[in-house]
Structure 1
Amino acid sequence: MPDMRAILYERRGIDNLELREVPEPRVGDNEVKLRVLKASINPVDLMSVEVLSVSPIPHIPGSEFFGVVEEVGKGVTHVSPGDRVAVYTRLFDGSCESCLRGRQTYCVNGKRIGVETQGGYAEEIVVPARNVMRSSLRDEILASLPIAILTPYHALKIAQVNPQDLVVVLGASGNTGMFLIQLAKMMGATVVAVSTKAWVKDFNPDIVVDYVNAEEVIKEFTQGKMASVVVNSLGQEYWDLAFKLVGNYGRIITYGAITGGKAQLDVNKLYLKHVTLLGTNRGDMGDFIELLTLASKLKVRTWRTFRLEDIKEAFLSFKEGRRDGRIFLSP
């Protein structure tokens, strides 16, 4: 088999990431081999390098990417070599109870590409054919679809966001935040983007406010009613703020904990306001298919695209918060 270039590590830590020549993966029945065109860095990728138990070892990270079909295995008919494809990066068997109910995220035999299997920080990858769909979406959107777009879309659907809602987005300049603003607007909601970055206004929220003034501004804007939906993907450091910003009968959504997951819950605040807490996790195949159409309207802010040779710099930029938009990798 010919070789390809890939990022691998055998021990945890950014310093242990290496660019190596490794054998190209072989395509099997009902699988497709992709040439990876663009990948991205998300919190789960940093966690897989520094914290999570991954397999196999040596490990190739990369949970969000897209590519072009190079080879198809026996039984594959819906895509052909040369097709640009979006990749749903949760593996699922399609036959368990969760899958039959359309909840592929919780397939009993499911795995995360880039965590429990080899990932997309490589020139080539083999994935199940059921996980790819042809798409003409722009490169940066396709490389954001599996996590950064899918996660907030699924969360907003679970929260049943509608035109009567005022949605507050904490971390509005983050990987998911920039898309959450746009998706909530598509659902007809009024959107308040909480961020220190002035450029979030490019995604057309109704209000942009910093963290210090968020409570006062939202209170004035809503005449004291506060928000009907608050999205806190940041974790424990913003838990108290989320409760200050949510109104009676409001919903607080969480799908991340980058500042830590040990938030203390004041039960009084929960029941006195009649607040509903919603935890969500990525999204299912049905959401992914819907986004193949909806995502054509989305914008993305790219900070920088790195080569595989510069993987350590890319990860350090992500970890240390030096980025000002999305970080992509171009194999």
Structure 2
Amino acid sequence: MKQDKTMKAVVTMEQGGLDKLVYQDVAIPELSDGEVLIKVLAAGVNNTEINTRMGWYSGDVNTSTNDMADQGDFNALKDGGWSKETPFPLIQGTDCCGIVVDTANDIHKNLIDQRVIVRSCMRTSGFYDFDNIWMASDFDGAFAEYVKVPASEVFPVQSQWNDEQLASIPCAYGTAENMLHRANVKESDTVLVMGASGGVGSAAVQLVKRRGATVFAVASKANHASVQTLGADKILDRNDNLIKALGENSVDVVIDNVAGENFGLQLTILKRGGRLATSGAIAGPVVNIDLRKLYLKDITLIGTTAWDEPVFPNLVQYIEKNEIKPLVAKTFPLKQIAQAQTEFLQKNHFGKFVLIP
């Protein structure tokens, strides 16, 4: 492949505020055995990139993403990575839609010129082991003109969706589908989705309905009309008393990416033998639960980060069969990432923000 030696990228120089995001020239990645080079066409914006930049994953943090962003003091945190120290300086960008332009091995030449999305959660020791690494948290990601990834994590997609729409899928929909897979959501279930207007929540509403289950969605009133278009059977305001609105022992499954002070109430809402799957804590990671409700009701509490093997191939099939729809709120040039993350934290949008290199 003939190409320039440098590319434009946003490099997160170190843990901190928006000033740590630097748009600059960097070397185009050199491929190692088993890798492919992707020309990035579009890259989605997620909470996790903001959290990683700020150091929110540190055990010292007990507040919400937004509260931490407002306080702006990030320097005292030492262990802000997911499970190990974040390798700053780092090119972030967890969601990638792009075209494969080069491969390290001839066996992968069939991928060249194919439009692909990247499975950003990678099970490094196989799917029987929960060890995992994430693009843009553990190694350089898609906030750049090019990114290199293992060929095993690249999935061609045959779809009429545009690049921005495909880039809205991997992190949010992968996380949501993984929760539904682990919680074994089936057609007969009633499912409560918390934070239904966010990226993971809105994906979960669609994916629950795709499975034929009944979905109750919790979202701010300003987003009720938008959530309704996703097929929610009942929509509640995030300030509602959920126990009064739904009743005790009323749902089979809770899908939660929010946490915060109301997390413990979900044990009351769940039926005996219910399942609660959680994958995030943007409203605050430290919660109160009554353990008696957990064990006396035989509730299964499921933490999910590592994506199981069927999850990403399932998503590709859903896209190609038009069984889900993308939700793109706004696009930005890559160099305007600070503006995109600022607007993202204001939570006035419905759908994903996407950056264009």
Question: Which residue of structure 2 lines up, in the alignment, with residue 47 of structure 1?
Answer: 51
Listed as ranges, the matches of 1:306-321 within 5 Å are 306-321=332-347
- Partner residue of 1:134 out of 156, 180, 188: 156
Question: Which residue of structure 2 lines up, in the alignment, with residue 118 of structure 1?
Answer: 140
CA distance in 1, matches of 2:208, 2:169: 16
Cα distance change, pair 282–148 in 1 and its aligned pair in 2 (3 A):
farther
Question: Which residue of structure 2 lines up, in the alignment, with residue 205 of structure 1?
Answer: 232
Cα distance change, pair 185–280 in 1 and its aligned pair in 2 (3 A):
same
Q: Which runs of 4+ in 1 moved over 6 A?
A: none
CA distance in 2, matches of 1:55, 1:277: 28
- Partner residue of 2:207 out of 177, 183, 193: 183
CA shift, 1:245, in A, is 2.2
Question: Which residue of structure 2 lines up, in the alignment, with residue 322 of structure 1?
Answer: 348
SS of match in other structure, 1:203: coil
SS of match in other structure, 1:297: coil
8 A contact 1:249–1:274 mirrored in 2: yes
CA distance in 1, matches of 2:156, 2:309: 14
SS of match in other structure, 1:122: coil
Q: Is 1:301 the equivalent of 2:327?
A: yes
Listed as ranges, the matches of 1:24-39 within 5 Å are 24-39=28-43
Q: Is 1:10 the equivalent of 2:19?
A: no
SS of match in other structure, 2:107: coil
Structure 1 length as normaliser, TM-score? 0.89
CA shift, 1:155, in A, is 1.0
8 A contact 1:61–1:119 mirrored in 2: yes
CA distance in 2, matches of 1:80, 1:269: 51
Deviations 1:217-253 (A, max 9, x none): 323xxxx641111112101323133223222222111
Cα distance change, pair 91–183 in 1 and its aligned pair in 2 (3 A):
closer
8 A contact 2:100–2:115 mirrored in 1: yes
8 A contact 1:4–1:23 mirrored in 2: yes
Deviations 1:40-87 (A, max 9, x none): 111211112111345543211111112101112224336332110121
- Partner residue of 2:273 out of 246, 249, 259: 249
RMSD: 2.0
Question: Which residue of structure 2 lines up, in the alignment, with residue 227 of structure 1?
Answer: 251
SS of match in other structure, 2:310: helix
Listed as ranges, the matches of 1:283-302 within 5 Å are 283-295=307-319, 296-302=322-328
Runs of at least 5 residues in structure 1 that lack an aligned partner in the other structure: none
Question: Which residue of structure 1 lines up, in the alignment, with residue 91 of structure 2?
Answer: 60
Moved more, 265-274 or 11-20: 265-274
8 A contact 2:103–2:109 mirrored in 1: no
8 A contact 1:193–1:209 mirrored in 2: yes
Deviations 1:161-191 (A, max 9, x none): 1121100101000111111111111212111
Tell me the amino acid that sits aligned with residue 154 of structure 1: N
CA distance in 2, matches of 1:158, 1:140: 28
Listed as ranges, the matches of 1:252-291 within 5 Å are 252-291=276-315
SS of match in other structure, 1:324: coil
CA distance in 1, matches of 2:38, 2:284: 35
8 A contact 1:178–1:300 mirrored in 2: no
- Partner residue of 1:164 out of 188, 192, 196: 188
Question: Which residue of structure 1 lines up, in the alignment, with residue 112 of structure 2?
Answer: 81
Cα distance change, pair 111–163 in 1 and its aligned pair in 2 (3 A):
closer
**Sequence identity percentage:** 30
Tell me the amino acid that sits aligned with residue 240 of structure 1: G
8 A contact 2:261–2:288 mirrored in 1: no
CA distance in 2, matches of 1:111, 1:24: 21
Runs of at least 5 residues in structure 2 that lack an aligned partner in the other structure: 56-79
Moved more, 33-42 or 67-76: 67-76
8 A contact 1:168–1:230 mirrored in 2: yes
